[in-house]
Structure 1
Amino acid sequence: MSADWLEVHAGDAPLIVGFPHTGTDIPAEIEAGLVSPWLARKDADWWIDRLYAFARELGATTVRTRLSRTVIDVNRDPSGASLYPGQATTELCPTTTFDGEPLYRGGAEPDAAEIAARRERWFSPYHAEIEAQIARLKTRYGAVVFYDAHSIRSRIPRLFEGELPHFNIGTNGGATCAPELAAGVAAACDRPGYRHVVDGRFKGGWATRRYGRPDEGVHAIQMELACRAYLDEPDSEVGPDNWPAPFDEARASACRAVLGEVLSACLAFAETRS
């Protein structure tokens, strides 16, 4: 299935991979109110759908929105409640970048009615599709893993101190999946040259928290990759001249090998529970 903004590949394995932030499309009427098209795309999860292209070969279902997260962030609580109270973050319809730069020209920020319209047009259908795929696979297998794929720059002082580990695994403190799944994913990430953490700064976004119902056979886990794991991340401040960095096949290949083990661990777990 596909739409002008939503891409769905229905696989046969008990694994769903979500790509909520790889899109860069912005409707013209929204882009007209933005400060800069580059700023509006700055915080995309660059190249992540390309990095995980092998997931389909494993039989995984993939769900991806082509829309920029600036239009609407489908990994935020639709009520507007913060996923990380007391910490800097961005909204359901972001008005700033991760670095705090304003996205909209003065007076062009989306109001409550506009946010509600975007939620109905894009947010709800995205999640309805994920729910439908979970139901389809759960009927067949009894147990399903939902894996939410993300990336972020390694250093963003407004959001976190220092440099992120390469692999940031989120289970909302163990609430969204069985401990065996989290342990299997962490073991797959334990490779020379890489660092990983479970439930560090990123504990899982709204999708992971919503779909993680381990007592019902739905196990959700988020992977937030530090961008340097798969591309040549600039040492200096990022700008239009150096970001996004080009896809680095050599660096991506090594990271992809680890991610292959990660998704294989997810599949092995689901099959033991089916």
Structure 2
Amino acid sequence: MGMGRELGTTPPTIVTAAGPCPAFEVLEPMRQTSPLVFCSPHSGRAYPASFLSQTCLDDASVRRSEDLFVDRLFEFVPALGAPMIVARFPRAYLDVNREPYELDPQMFDGPLPPYANSASVRVAGGLGTIPRIVAEKQEIYAAPLDRTEALSRIETIYHPFHRTLSALVERTQAAFGFALLIDCHSMPSTVRAVPGGRRPDVIVGDRFGTSAAGRFVAMAAARLSVLGWNVVRNKPYAGGFITERYGRPHRGVHAIQIELNRGLYADEERLVPHRGFDMVQASLRDFVALFGAEIEAEMGRPAAAE
């Protein structure tokens, strides 16, 4: 499945060692019957050849920022009547879960535009729109980046990605009277333990109660808990730019971030799925089907958009 015609032009391409591929894709249902919209912004594994020539990291190290296989975990959602936008480019190359111009001036060979936000906490931590480091705090680049080329990533990929995501959300709200965006991520199994010493299996983020109706968040957390997972809310991940940008409950658009513990389904050292993958995917399918039905019942909407 690819870009829905009603969402506009064909997505931009990136050129990998294997050839060109779409920078992102929209996986569309045959007919949208759900008010849910899914987004996987950090699971891309298509590394531009030009980027690999710039990085000083080896192939395994540069992949440490990936939300491992989250796109594959949720690939069933079109069969349940919901669309999903999936980034194919890697997070280490460009992070669409940031403001468009959160940039570190020390990374580039010339001055940045005056509208760049160089003072954000995320930039200070090396994780701006164009990241400086991967997850293990390893520097990505051996030399300053060409400023024009770096800004081109934002203009040619970041903005089209968000225009497409906005169109998905707007289309869904128009059809159902409301929309609920689920931003899908993964976290390392070493995530900080919760009280009692246990590490969370899932973190549900709603920007501390601002990006979605509280009853929707409670329903999501309860449904995930019923699956046997240890679920916490907002700590340490409350949601990033996507959750903050799109979550407008007072306007009928809700956004929730879901972080899955990678140890549930993948070997984090070898960067491959393990035998838990199929079970986690089946549980997520149950969650999406039941949660979507609960949301529609709560809102009193028809089961499909005619």
Q: TM-score normalised to the size of structure 1?
A: 0.85
Describe the superposition over 1:188-217 as per-residue Cα deviations: whole angstroms up to 9, x where unpaired. Answer: 121475311111110011111111011111
Q: Counterparts in 2 of 1:52-63, with a 5 A limit?
A: 52-63=74-85
How far apart, in 1, do the equivalents of 2:292 and 2:256 lie? 9
Structure 1 position 102 matched with structure 2 position 120: no
- Equivalent position of 2:110 in the other structure: none
User: Do residues 223 (structure 1) and 258 (structure 2) align?
Assistant: yes
2:297 is the counterpart of 1:268: no
1:166 counterpart (183, 194, 201): 201
In the TM superposition, what whole-angstrom CA distance separates every residue of 1:161-186 from its partner, at most 9, and x where no partner exists? x8741101110001010011100111
* Distance (whole Å) between structure 2 residues aligned to residue 163 and residue 232 of structure 1: 20
Work out the CA distance in 2 between the residues paired with 1:135 and 1:46. 28
Q: What is the letter of the counterpart of residue 95 of structure 1?
A: R
- How far the C-alpha of 1:65 sits from its partner, in A, is 1.3
User: Could you tell me how far apart the structure 2 residues matched to 1:193 and 1:7 are?
Assistant: 32
Q: Which residue of 2 aligns with 1:10?
A: 28
Task: Provide the C-alpha distance between the structure 1 equivalents of 2:220 and 2:250, rounded to a whole number of angstroms.
Answer: 19
CA distance in 2 between counterparts of 1:213 and 1:270 reads 18
Which sections of structure 2, spanning at least 5 residues, go unmatched?
4-10, 12-21, 103-116, 302-306
Give the 5 Å matches for 1:218-257: 218-233=253-268, 242-244=269-271, 246-248=272-274, 250-257=275-282
Distance of aligned partners of 1:126 and 1:48 in 2 relative to their CA distance in 1, 3 Å threshold? same
1:183 is aligned, of 209, 218, 225, to 218
Encode CA deviations 1:75-129: one digit per residue, 9 max, x unaligned: 1122315876799461211111111111111x2x435433321111111001100
Is the partner of 1:126 in helix, strand or coil?
helix
Residue 148 in 1 paired to residue 174 in 2?
A: no
| Residue 74 (str. 1) matches residue 100 (str. 2) | no
Instruction: State the identity %.
Output: 28
Please tell me whether the aligned partners of residues 83 and 205 of structure 1 are also in contact (alpha carbons under 8 angstroms): no
Give SS of 1:63's match.
Answer: strand
Aligned Cα RMSD in Å?
Answer: 2.4
Aligned mates of 1:89, 1:55 — CA distance in 2: 33
Alpha-carbon distance in 1 for matches of 2:120, 2:241 = 7
Counterparts of 1:85 and 1:163 in 2: how far apart (Å)?
Answer: 27
User: What code does the residue aligned with 1:49 have?
Assistant: D
For residues 123 and 141 of structure 2, the distance between their equivalents in structure 1, rounded to whole angstroms, comes to 24
What stretches of structure 1 of length at least 5 have no aligned partner?
A: 234-241
1:155–1:83 CA distance, 2 compared to 1 (3 A):
farther
- What TM-score does the superposition give when structure 2 sets the normalisation length? 0.77
In the TM superposition, residue 232 of structure 1 has moved relative to its aligned partner by 4.1
1:252: how far off?
Answer: 2.2
Quote the Cα distance in structure 2 between the aligned partners of 1:86 and 1:67.
Answer: 20
After TM superposition, the runs of 4+ consecutive aligned structure 1 residues lying more than 6 A away are none
Please state whether the residue corresponding to 2:257 is helix, strand or coil: strand
Residue 115 of structure 1 aligns to a residue whose secondary structure is helix
3-state secondary structure, aligned to 1:53: coil
Give the secondary structure class of the aligned counterpart of 2:25.
strand
Distance in 1, matches of 2:229 and 2:181, equals 24
Q: In 2, distance between residues paired with 1:123 and 1:87?
A: 21
SS of the equivalent of 1:22 reads coil
Offset at residue 152 of structure 1 (A)? 2.1
- Please tell me whether the aligned partners of residues 39 and 103 of structure 1 are also in contact (alpha carbons under 8 angstroms): no
| Number of the residue aligned with 2:284 | 259
Q: Is the 8 A contact 2:26 2:83 kept in 1?
A: yes
Pick which of 34-43 and 146-155 moved more.
34-43
Pair 1:27–1:85, CA change in 2 (3 A): closer
Residue 134 of structure 1 is aligned with which of 169, 180, 188?
Answer: 169
**Structure 2 counterpart of 1:202:** 237
- Give the residue type in structure 2 aligned to 1:46: L
Q: Contact 2:191–2:199 (CA<8 Å) still a contact in 1?
A: no
Asked whether the equivalents of residues 68 and 266 of structure 2 are also in contact (C-alpha less than 8 Å), the reply is no
